Structure 1
Amino acid sequence: MLYQLHEFQKALLQPVSSWARAASEAFINASNPASKVPGSERLAASYELLYRLGKDYKKPEFGIRAVPAHGREVAIHEITTLAKPFCNLVRFKRYSDDVEVIKKLKDDPVVLVVAPMSGHHATLLRDTVRTLLQDHKVYITDWIDARIVPVEDGEFSLDDYVHYIQEFIRTIGAKDLHVISVCQPTVPTLGAISLMASAGEAIPASMIMMGGPIDARKSPTAVNDLADQKSYRWFESHVIYNVPPNYPGAGRRVYPGFLQHTGFLAMNPQNHVQSHWDYFQNLVRGDEQDAEAHIRFYDEYNAVLDLDAGFYLDTIKTVFQDYALPNGTWKVAGELVKPQDIKKTALLTIEGELDDISGSGQTRAAHALCTGIAKDDKAHYEVTGAGHYGIFAGRRWREKVYPKISAFIRSHQSSKKSSTRNKAA
């Protein structure tokens, strides 16, 4: 019922939001008499803020059209390499008409970015991808909003997530592949590679894990406390709802995006209030650059997706209540996950000093689990002054974190193969 009420409220706000946008434009249009009204700038800013508070936020585009690479500007084209019901494996193909640049592009390491399936779209990692594209061939997991996946496609569990990652690794080719997992997928990524190692499959050259709950018992945050203090049954009865009839996934049981968004805002309400006040002031002053920065951030932050109930509840129990991975009890489709079986994949873990989502030591815990990896093939980096988002987006990401990752990948690139011998070339 809550989901239906949310949809009803959204339908009511839509005309108000549209009217507010029209009113805002009227007060800033020099040809409109309303723009001559005293205080028109403040009125326009007020209506624009009302519009943005009430509008419906759609999934943004990556919008990466070109990047600098090897001294040239190279064009970028998004290609769906593999389409699955709940995720598309997307490649950012780089193009150049310079022969020497093409040769260098082909020799660049291949990276699979495993994006979080935790409320926001994979486009949250736009800055991550754009930066990586300068020196790497990049793929990303582009998770699909569960509300648009028909129930006929079945449920999606944490086990399915692990199997998806394995299939993506096999599709790209594990040889000289480097897997970067950001936040939530650090656990299923480690699970996927562990199972592949146990089965004697080819595994990636390195795995880079950033700000994830490998062992959520360490330095627990508010996110961890909520999952630990409430029972599995509480989550099942309080945050799981059926998708309403106006979506392709009607009837699917999900953890709705709007509830997740409410939780995001509740973690730092004063910061969001201040940010919107600053946006209002920037509009009044005509500071377009800062206002645009606010718009870009919240267009991304406010665009959320539903999670299939099976996956969400599995994650709560396995990662945040049973601590199954660090306890050595996690089984995927009946197979025990054994990180100690990984021997040929290098490991880099990255944490933010001020991360309030994944606490200090939670990601680094992977080192204690991966006992089969040689000490020389392990590294850890704590990003001074960085919060959760700062380790994969913004200035600290570009200036501090990315150079560490790029150097680590290059140091564990065992060989450089031509396109005929590497599927990803």
Structure 2
Amino acid sequence: MFYQFYEFTHAALAPWRAAADSVRLASKNPLNPYSHTPAGRAMAAGLEVFERTTRRYGKPEFGLDTTEIAERPVEVQERIVWSKPFCNVVHFKRDLPSGHAPDPKILLVAPMSGHYATLLRGTVERLLPEAEVYITDWIDARMVPLSEGRFDLDDYIDYIIEMLHDLGPDVHVMAVCQPSVPVLAAIAVMEQRGDRQVPLTMTLMGGPIDTRINPTGVNELAQTKPIEWFENNVIMAVPWPLPGFGRPVYPGFLQLSGFMTMNLDRHMIAHKDFFLHLVDGDGDSAEKHRDFYDEYLAVMDMTAEFYLQTVQAVFIDHALPKGELMHRGQPVDTTAIRNVALLTVEGERDDISGLGQTQAAQTICPNIPQEMRAHYVQDTVGHYGVFNGSRFRKQIAPRILDFVRTQAAARTGSASSGPKLASVAGGKSA
């Protein structure tokens, strides 16, 4: 009933939001003398804050229409190249100049943890000049009819395997945060089967491979509650008339409330500052606030079975590092991985996946040759900084791209191109 009450409240507020927006526009109209007074600006600012904090934020656009290659602008088109009920794979197809040498093909696996794949817009933008980028665009579970069936951790692993088969053996896979576990499991399953379509490399970034190491607040919550608590308190049925009516989900608005309460004081200060920027006429600062929260407040539902299995396997049982994770009734053996190069990347100040949790992949994949593995810790960055921001653009991304090129060159015997790992300062390599 709580989900229904949320939907009812949102609908009931719709007329108030419309009225607030109308009065705000009137209060800002330069032909209105009141708009030039402090009281008028304060009213317009307050009404915008009200409208933005009560609206539903839809899925954002990537908006990456161009990139720059060899200091020249190049058009980019989004194309869906693989599709299943719970996920599309989007290819950012570049209009490359004639004679341009092939770039590495990278499958970027976005988190299915509440936010849309557009959270990795900055990641995609940085990779585009030097790579052929594909990204998993997960579907909001409340928009998937019950007739499409369930989606659990086994299905997630199968999706990854199917994507890799579709893209071919020359692909490089990058997993950001949550998908590090199912991506590593998928590659282990493929190696156990002797699958020749395994990717050339896998890069795991800020992922909870072993949450026993440096546990964070997120990890500790899972340890203090039985799985029945999560099932009884956060799982709800999608209400009518949404397409997924009746599907049990972990609702996006509940996930968002969890995100917000972790840093509630920071969000309250940000909205206070937003109000003051509007009153003062500081348009640039106000626009930065809008851009951030348009993305941050856009959330999606997750299927109950996927969420509960992930909590149980990853955060309570630590199944993957203990060698106890199962896929379709068969054990997942990470020691079978021999042919896929491994790069792990962590942030020194990560408060979601603690330092060392991702590096654990190096330990549980002992049969990857030493020359096919690397680990990097970026200093002074938190979880978000592992895959976005200036440090990612200038220090982390060049290392990933160099690792990808170097490993691809080692397989083909061709010379590697691009910046070398040692040429990028600001972190710690191992």
Q: TM-score, normalised on structure 1?
A: 0.94
Q: Match for residue 337 of structure 1?
A: 332
Select which of 395, 408, 412 maps to 1:413: 408
Corresponding position of 1:422:
none
Contact 1:14–1:56 (Cα < 8 Å) also in 2: no
Secondary structure in 2 aligned to 1:245? coil
- Match of residue 186 from structure 2: 192
* Selected match of 2:360 from 365, 377, 381: 365
1:32, CA displacement in angstroms? 2.5
The one-letter code sitting in structure 2 at the alignment partner of 1:86 is F
Matches within 5 A, 1:255-266: 255-266=250-261
| Alignment of structure 1 residues 7-406 onto 2, 5 Å | 7-96=7-96, 98-100=97-99, 103-104=100-101, 107-175=102-170, 177-202=171-196, 203-406=198-401
Q: CA deviation at 1:43?
A: 1.8
Return the offset for 1:38.
4.3
Rounded to whole Å, the distance in 1 between the matches of 2:396 and 2:89 is: 24
Question: 1:341 and 1:218, CA in 2 relative to 1: closer, same or farther beyond 3 A?
Answer: same
Q: Deviations over 1:211-265 (max 9, x none)?
A: 1100011111111111111111111111111000120000000000000000000
Deviation at 1:71, TM superposition (A): 2.5
Letter in 2 for 1:341: A
Amino acid at match of 1:217: R
| CA deviation map 1:95-141 (0-9, x unaligned) | 14x323xx23xx10000000000000000000001111110000000
User: Displacement of 1:4 after TM fit?
Assistant: 0.4
Q: 1:219 is paired with a residue of what secondary structure?
A: coil
Cα distance, 1:389–1:172 mapped onto 2, change above 3 Å: same
Gaps of 5+ in 2: 414-430
The match for 1:421 is none
1:99 and 1:254 mapped to 2: Cα distance?
Answer: 48
Distance in 2 (CA, whole Å) between partners of 1:196 and 1:75 is 35
Which amino acid is the alignment partner of residue 241 of structure 2?
N
Given that 1:350 and 1:363 are in contact with CA atoms closer than 8 Å, whether structure 2 keeps it comes out as: yes
Post-superposition offset of 1:37: 4.2
Aligned length: 411
User: Residue 180 of structure 2 contacts residue 208 of structure 2 at CA under 8 Å; is this kept in 1?
Assistant: yes
TM-score (norm 2): 0.93
Measure the CA separation in 2 of the matches of 1:399 and 1:38: 43
Stretches of structure 1 that go unaligned for 5 or more consecutive residues are 418-425
Give the 3-state SS of the residue equivalent to 1:381 in structure 2.
strand
How many percent of aligned residue pairs carry the same amino acid? Answer: 48
Alpha carbons 2:38, 2:279 under 8 Å: kept: no
Q: What is the CA distance between 1:416 and its match in structure 2?
A: 7.4
User: How far does the alpha carbon of each residue in 1:163-205 deviate from its partner, in whole angstroms, 9 at most, with x for none?
Assistant: 0000000000122x11000000000000000100111112111
Off by >3 Å, runs of 4+ in structure 1: 414-417
Separation in 2, partners of 1:387, 1:17 = 35
Contact 2:110 2:117 in 1 (8 A): yes
| Distance in structure 2 (CA, Å) of the matches to 1:124 and 1:17 | 26
Q: Distance in 2 between matches of 1:368 and 1:133?
A: 31
- 2: CA distance between counterparts of 1:57 and 1:275? 18
